[in-house]
């Protein structure tokens, strides 16, 4: 929108540079998230849209989070709006990849909003059933998988799975690529959702992942850099850096209110949308395997839940004191801020390590 208009003016040719628009998108999203977020929190408080921390089967966890009861939730709406506005202003909205990301963000954000709304308006309700959420997430994954499958067929790397650090070895997935895309979208949206259990934890890790994805998208969108690093060149993917910058800016604005002690929670509205964004970004830039490292904290949180459930079904015993993983550390005596900051440090180091793998 603004980008298309300004770029046609001779004196503003510099706006065609991705680096300038990344900064503008980040600042725009940040200030929208700050000011809209403040108004939105007040609105939620007036409507008494607060978290019900009693909906857990753990008495110890219920006691730990008793002070969080009635804290406003669904705050993910604030940074989704900020990302949407900043993207429409500073991104090339005719870029197909940008449109896919906006589509995925709105789809999953709406799904999370419905889930949160049911939890908050119906007493003792746990939101949408797991099957219902899985069906809607899978439907999105299949749609995106089909679109990208036919789109990528025109490139030499097509549906190949790129292995980090091993430059000359790839795995051609063929039609199975559609299933892999679906799995990544569903898996990542749920992984971020599971991570969102402590003040600032999920959004802080998301900021670090967003910064890393901005760099990766910029590299894969340039012929010279991608050829030098011997990774797939994805024409048009450089524009995703601007979207990532908007995501980082909006998330930083939300962290202003979500840091300990949190004034608002993102709810499923925000966590499902963020997870879907990261999953789709990794797919578009052809670094699906690298995402396991780059988003390692989210993956570890989701894996801990799977291990806990499977092991308990088989042995009736638990591997962790409580799952997801951040609750395990709470149960062994770590303070909430210590867990959050240490997980941020790990997320930062994993992001740096992902660059080494490039």
Q: Which of 16-25, 47-56, 137-146, 337-346 has the lowest mean pLDDT?
A: 47-56
Angle ∠(80,85,89) on CA atoms, nearest 5 = 150
Q: Which residues touch 154 (CB under 8 Å, ≥6 apart)?
A: none
pLDDT for 213 equals 97
pLDDT at 143 over 60: yes
Residues in the chain: 358
328 contacts 322 by C-beta, under 8 angstroms? yes
The per-residue pLDDT for range 201-245, each reduced to its tens digit, is 999 999 999 999 999 999 999 999 998 888 899 999 999 999 999
Angle ∠(246,237,106) on CA atoms, nearest 5 = 50
Q: Decide: residue 110, CB within 10 A, 0-12 exposed, 13-18 middle, 19+ buried.
A: middle
pLDDT at 317 over 70: yes
**Joined tokens for residue 90:** 């500073």
Q: In the predicted model, what is the mean pLDDT of residues 274-280?
A: 97
pLDDT for 264 equals 95
pLDDT at 59 over 80: no
Percent of the chain whose pLDDT exceeds 90: 72
pLDDT for 52 equals 67
DSSP per-residue letters across 17-74: SHHHHHHHHHHHHHHHHHHHHHHHHHHHHHHT-B--TT-SS-HHHHHHTGGGTT-B--
* Stated pTM of the model: 0.94
Residue 132's Cβ-side half-sphere holds a number of Cα atoms within 13 Å equal to 9
Identify the residue whose tokens are 């003792």.
124
- pLDDT-derived band at 12 (thresholds 50, 70, 90) equals low
pLDDT for 61 equals 72
325 contacts 185 by C-beta, under 8 angstroms? no
pLDDT for 69 equals 77
The per-residue pLDDT for range 123-138, each reduced to its tens digit, is 666 778 889 999 999 9
pLDDT for 119 equals 86
Radius of gyration of the chain (CA): 20
Q: Which residues touch 10 (CB under 8 Å, ≥6 apart)?
A: none
Q: 162 in helix, strand or coil?
A: strand
């Amino acid at each position: 929108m603004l980008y298309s208009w300004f770029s046609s003016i001779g004196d503003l040719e510099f706006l065609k540079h991705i680096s300038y628009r990344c900064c503008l998108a980040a600042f725009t999203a940040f200030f929208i998230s700050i000011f809209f977020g403040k108004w939105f929190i007040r609105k939620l408080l007036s409507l008494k849209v607060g978290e019900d921390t009693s909906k857990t089967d753990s008495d110890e966890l219920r006691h730990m989070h008793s002070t969080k009861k009635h804290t406003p939730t669904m705050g993910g709406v604030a940074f989704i709006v900020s990302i949407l506005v900043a993207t429409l202003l500073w991104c090339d909205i005719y870029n197909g990849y940008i449109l896919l990301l906006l589509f995925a963000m709105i789809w999953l954000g709406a799904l999370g909003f419905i889930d949160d709304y049911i939890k908050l308006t119906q007493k003792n309700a746990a939101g949408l059933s797991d099957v219902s959420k899985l069906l809607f997430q899978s439907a999105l994954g299949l749609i995106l998988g089909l679109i990208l499958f036919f789109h990528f067929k025109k490139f030499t790397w097509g549906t190949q799975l790129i292995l980090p650090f091993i430059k000359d070895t790839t795995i051609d997935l063929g039609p199975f690529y559609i299933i892999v895309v679906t799995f990544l979208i569903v898996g990542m949206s749920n992984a971020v959702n599971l991570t969102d259990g402590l003040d600032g934890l999920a959004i802080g890790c998301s900021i670090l992942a967003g910064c890393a994805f901005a760099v990766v998208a910029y590299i894969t969108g340039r012929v010279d850099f991608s050829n030098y690093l011997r990774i797939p060149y994805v024409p048009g993917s450089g524009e995703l850096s601007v979207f990532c910058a908007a995501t980082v800016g909006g998330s930083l604005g939300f962290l202003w209110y979500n840091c300990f002690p949190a004034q608002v929670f993102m709810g499923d509205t925000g966590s499902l949308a963020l997870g879907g964004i990261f999953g789709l970004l990794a797919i578009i830039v052809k670094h699906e395997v690298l995402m396991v490292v780059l988003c390692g904290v989210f993956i570890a949180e989701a894996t801990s839940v799977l291990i806990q459930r499977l092991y308990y079904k088989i042995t009736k015993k638990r591997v962790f004191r409580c799952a997801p993983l951040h609750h395990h550390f709470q149960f062994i005596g770590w303070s909430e801020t210590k867990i959050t900051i240490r997980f941020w440090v790990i997320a930062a180091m994993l992001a740096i390590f992902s660059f080494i793998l490039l």
